[in-house]
Amino acid sequence: MNKYQVLVVEDDMPISNLITTTLNSHGYRYITAGTGEGAVMEAASHNPDMILLDLGLPDIDGVEVIRRIRSWSNVPIIVISARSEDSDKIDALDAGADDYLTKPFSVEELLARLRVVQRRLALMQSTARSSEYENGQLRIDYANRCAYLAGEELRLTPMEYKLLCLLAQNTGKVLTHKYILQNVWGSSLETDVGSLRVFMATLRKKLEKLPDSPQYIQTHIGVGYRMMKIE
């Protein structure tokens, strides 16, 4: 039996039913809401382990739902959006969502996203007060500002190290270009996305065995990057 409880926020009943049926048959517990106000209420009263949130809701906007929930909770939130809501998806990530699913999605995709969140929850619990980060063959020693791959120290520039730490501290979560630029460079100009790409390419050359099929840092085209938890 899976111990996780998922709050499903979706006003489209066929989609809501597809999600809850999938959750049920894979051992998740769930509760549902069909409105934004309902979602905020259910999140507050049940304290779910993760939230699946449709962005297009009949009352308040999904991004506003995220802002309200984020004012008291770090619960992982996976946003569900239609293709036409692409910019909303980025706003949702900037407001604190962890990940996104684009409609139409398959049951396999849904389950895969839930597993990413579960690994993130497990990692957050195990490293909550640790000064070290471990993921696959990557190890970061925060106290000494060093990173190692398979025991060998990575020769990182200060910016590459900062970038790696930001991604590591948010393992499992998709970070937008804007978020990364603000947190590493203190700026979020559109033109800086190009320099972020350059830094990412040099970081990957050092971190990834095959920089063209990265294992650690995943690219989300037009959106941002995510550090994956290696199993």
Of 57 and 116, nearer to Ca ion (C-beta) is 57
CB of 178 to Ca ion, least distance (A): 25
Query: In whole angstroms, how large is the CA radius of gyration of the chain?
Result: 18
Q: Please state whether beta strands 217-220 and 224-227 pair in parallel, antiparallel, or not at all (unpaired).
A: antiparallel
CB of 88 to Ca ion, least distance (A): 11
- Give the whole-angstrom CA distance, residue 77 versus residue 173: 10
Amino acid at 127: T
Can you read off the two tokens belonging to residue 198?
A: 């350059």
Q: Is 100 exposed, middle or buried (0-12, 13-18, 19+ CB in 10 A)?
A: buried
Question: Which residues, in sequence order, are bridge partners of residue 136?
Answer: none
Work out whether 54 is an interface residue with Ca ion (CB under 5 A): yes
* 38, 56, 211, 214: residue in contact with Ca ion (rule CB under 5 A): 56
Work out whether 38 is an interface residue with Ca ion (CB under 5 A): no
CB of 34 to Ca ion, least distance (A): 9
Can you read off the two tokens belonging to residue 184?
A: 């590493």
Find out whether 116 and 229 touch, Cβ atoms under 8 Å.
Answer: yes
Of 54 and 88, nearer to Ca ion (C-beta) is 54
CB of 183 to Ca ion, least distance (A): 31
CB of 7 to Ca ion, least distance (A): 15
Instruction: Read off φ and ψ for residue 100, nearest 5 degrees.
Output: -145, 155
Of 99 and 160, nearer to Ca ion (C-beta) is 99
Q: Is 224 exposed, middle or buried (0-12, 13-18, 19+ CB in 10 A)?
A: buried
Can you read off the two tokens belonging to residue 212?
A: 């063209």
CB of 62 to Ca ion, least distance (A): 8
**Contact region for Ca ion (CB under 5 A) — 54-62, 66-74, 142-150, 213-221?**
54-62
Of 9 and 138, nearer to Ca ion (C-beta) is 9
Work out whether 134 is an interface residue with Ca ion (CB under 5 A): no
**Contact region for Ca ion (CB under 5 A) — 4-12, 130-138, 151-159, 205-213?**
4-12
Instruction: Read off φ and ψ for residue 158, nearest 5 degrees.
Output: -55, -40
Output the residue with the shortest Cβ distance to Ca ion. 56
Rule CB under 5 A: which of 5-24 touch Ca ion? Answer: 11-12
Total residues contacting Ca ion (rule CB under 5 A)? 4
Can you read off the two tokens belonging to residue 206?
A: 């050092």
Interface residues with Ca ion (CB under 5 A)? 11-12, 54, 56
